[in-house]
Structure 1
């Protein structure tokens, strides 16, 4: 039976999703995982730019190889998530990710980590993350009641934003104190600590499994669901656009802009990421309190319009304080963007297809972003990081404004 709470007006509503023990354990594990995920992108960029003294294009290559496995593996991982033991998948991928971080720390300590080795370890770390990512997303609606779904997504977004705030900051503090190898030992420890929560997690078994087919055939079912729904098809298209433009501009190229455009060290990009995470946490808390909001499709597109505009301005900044202010504003918009798009997809997808559709979601949200990062790295090399950031965001803004005006049904999607 669904637990409910009573508001001051006497209206009953579902209890907060965090009161559900299995979801709470997954959430605690996600904090550890997301801390590492956000620290990884920052620390590898920091290592390449400041530790190995390489260029912005080399930083783009490293972020590309970190995310490339998502483009290659998430669809297959989504199929596995609909068939295999999801708890075991999370445990083994997280153990594997922790082992890669530990090996990287040992290579740094032995002064044996060349740029080529960075490429290898980022591919391995990206593979461990890519296989586990669709499972994490698909598990949320399996662990909570449907009326608690948006609450659960908002709480999960808060875990992600806590990591966006703390991951780069803590990694930099540890790195400043104990060197780059200390930063990677820190990440390895978090990965292994998160496994402890998974060992206590009870996951419901899959129900009514269809006869086993090829990965391609299984993936087509999820793709048909997305393509066959007009609103989901357009929503996924906007996610692809953001993943090629705004997302890599902020999550990757901003670090190069802080170093080359503002004359700071790449490590100082931890502060904008922290403020961005704070903004996302605040707006995610608003979503959690409001629960089932109306016109989520409109809220998603407005958030992307705001985010694209803020990103254009970020590329034109000349002082660090300007980046900090805009990063906080970006986070406020980002909270609505993250919660609305994931919630809309999960609310409009049947549970038997959830793993495969969330595999497609991971591909569009994370797997495509490395290609955008690689392209922006090349553009930044020939122009400037700031110009690359603003130009990419302008393209995204034009597309999302056109979609918002023309797609009334998507604006009203709930």
Structure 2
């Protein structure tokens, strides 16, 4: 049942968290510790599929970046254009995808989307292997992948709580990040050497095959064991209701604003690493893969630390602000590292701070919103998280071309640090003026 009429008006007057607080951890939860959410069978199936699929995803990501770089004559702007095309659909579809996730069976919706992802990867792989790939085709397929991702991410994010329940959501979010970032260690390392040996084509085909693991895991789940909330019936104004809900929660507004600025300007290094590897340090694809792997060492370590925190208690706004400030400061300092080795080593703490920030933001949103609003709120969250990429991608390429390959790091780091300080001040003001128990915990 959606919030309409007087209910919507009430929520604007008095922001509240409709879901009851998470119950205390049981003895079984403590026994599982860092991996507490894996005691849920449905989540184990999802987790296993994601391990395989995420390695394929990262192999494709490295292969796509390098393919664009080669087809464009090593033009950093072309790389930024690809990123923009891949994330433009997020601007157009994320909010609507959140509404869709609240209305439909998330498991079946994810299966359909993953089938589309497999076809996109297979198509790109066949184009490359046949020698017919052109830059415009890569652009077009990047847009297709972006459209599928715009539908998939809000659905998958809101499905996490549905698999494990609200009390284990923070732990499951962190474990998702741990396997994503473990794949970021393995995938780029494999991709860098495979590209040198046989080119990019087979990496796209491998990703298409790996997607089958996700579809199989979703198909094998027991729907009766999901923690589903009552279905939200189709009605007018549901998207506006979601936006009003967030607007009535100043704590969520601060989180959304901080995520937008940090993700748009600070977390651009996943794209600019290829530019640094090739144009600053003069390495080939294997050098790019190694930088991505060093970054992933930090993100994987940070994800495991977040999983351990998630098994003990909920996320906090204070941790979100501190991790954002640390991300900005480390990125700024790392930009001036003089050698390939020192630059690569600086990526480890940068990865740790980045994944701590992203996991904390995700878990805060998931665990403090109404279950019936979760899809729509996560749709907005994905929009602010990824919607800046159509601006950030080309901006990164332009900065690298105009001011040098290091500039996206020191400019982005500076913006992230300032955003953290400003949002920290705003959070302090809101808490002091409202003294509301409904604000996100600050410590």
After TM superposition, the score normalised by the length of structure 1 is: 0.91
Q: Is the 8 A contact 2:89 2:150 kept in 1?
A: yes
For the aligned residue pairs, the C-alpha RMSD in angstroms reads 2.5
Match of 1:59 in 2: 79
Q: Say yes or no: does 1:179 pair with 2:208.
A: no
- Counterpart among 46, 49, 63 of residue 43 in structure 1: 63
Distance in 2 between residues matched to 1:166 and 1:202, nearest whole Å: 31
Q: Say yes or no: does 1:354 pair with 2:383.
A: no
Distance in 2 between residues matched to 1:112 and 1:4, nearest whole Å: 57
Q: Say yes or no: does 1:168 pair with 2:188.
A: yes
Within 5 Å, which residues of 2 pair with 1:254-403?
Answer: 254-290=273-309, 291-293=311-313, 296-403=316-423
Q: Is the 8 A contact 2:50 2:213 kept in 1?
A: no
Q: Is the 8 A contact 1:239 1:364 kept in 2?
A: yes
Match of 1:27 in 2: 47
Deviation at 1:366, TM superposition (A): 2.0
SS in 2 for 1:252: helix
Q: Which moved more, 1:354-363 or 1:164-173?
A: 164-173
Label 1:37 to 1:361 Cα distance change in 2 as closer, same or farther (>3 A): farther
Gaps spanning 5+ residues in structure 1: where? none
Q: Deviations over 1:284-342 (max 9, x none)?
A: 22232233447711111111111111111232233111122111111221232122111
Match of 1:212 in 2: 234
Q: Deviations over 1:263-302 (max 9, x none)?
A: 2225522212222222222222223223344771111111
Deviation at 1:379, TM superposition (A): 1.9
SS in 2 for 1:407: helix
Deviation at 1:205, TM superposition (A): 8.2
Distance in 2 between residues matched to 1:15 and 1:48, nearest whole Å: 38
Match of 2:15 in 1: none
Q: Is the 8 A contact 1:2 1:145 kept in 2?
A: no
Q: Say yes or no: does 1:5 pair with 2:27.
A: yes
Distance in 2 between residues matched to 1:355 and 1:36, nearest whole Å: 26
Distance in 2 between residues matched to 1:411 and 1:83, nearest whole Å: 27
After TM superposition, the score normalised by the length of structure 2 is: 0.86
SS in 1 for 2:27: strand
- Counterpart among 146, 149, 155 of residue 126 in structure 1: 146
Q: Say yes or no: does 1:84 pair with 2:113.
A: no
Distance in 2 between residues matched to 1:245 and 1:58, nearest whole Å: 18
Distance in 2 between residues matched to 1:193 and 1:113, nearest whole Å: 27
Q: Is the 8 A contact 2:331 2:410 kept in 1?
A: yes
Q: Is the 8 A contact 2:35 2:175 kept in 1?
A: no
Distance in 1 between residues matched to 2:248 and 2:135, nearest whole Å: 44
Deviation at 1:145, TM superposition (A): 3.0
SS in 2 for 1:260: helix
Distance in 1 between residues matched to 2:204 and 2:315, nearest whole Å: 42
Distance in 2 between residues matched to 1:6 and 1:192, nearest whole Å: 32
Label 1:312 to 1:205 Cα distance change in 2 as closer, same or farther (>3 A): closer
Distance in 1 between residues matched to 2:292 and 2:127, nearest whole Å: 27
Deviation at 1:198, TM superposition (A): 1.5
Deviation at 1:53, TM superposition (A): 2.2
Number of residue equivalences: 409
Gaps spanning 5+ residues in structure 2: where? 1-22, 432-438
Label 1:295 to 1:13 Cα distance change in 2 as closer, same or farther (>3 A): closer
Distance in 2 between residues matched to 1:38 and 1:323, nearest whole Å: 21
Q: Is the 8 A contact 1:4 1:13 kept in 2?
A: no
Q: Which moved more, 1:153-162 or 1:290-299?
A: 290-299
- Counterpart among 79, 84, 91 of residue 71 in structure 1: 91
Distance in 2 between residues matched to 1:177 and 1:73, nearest whole Å: 38
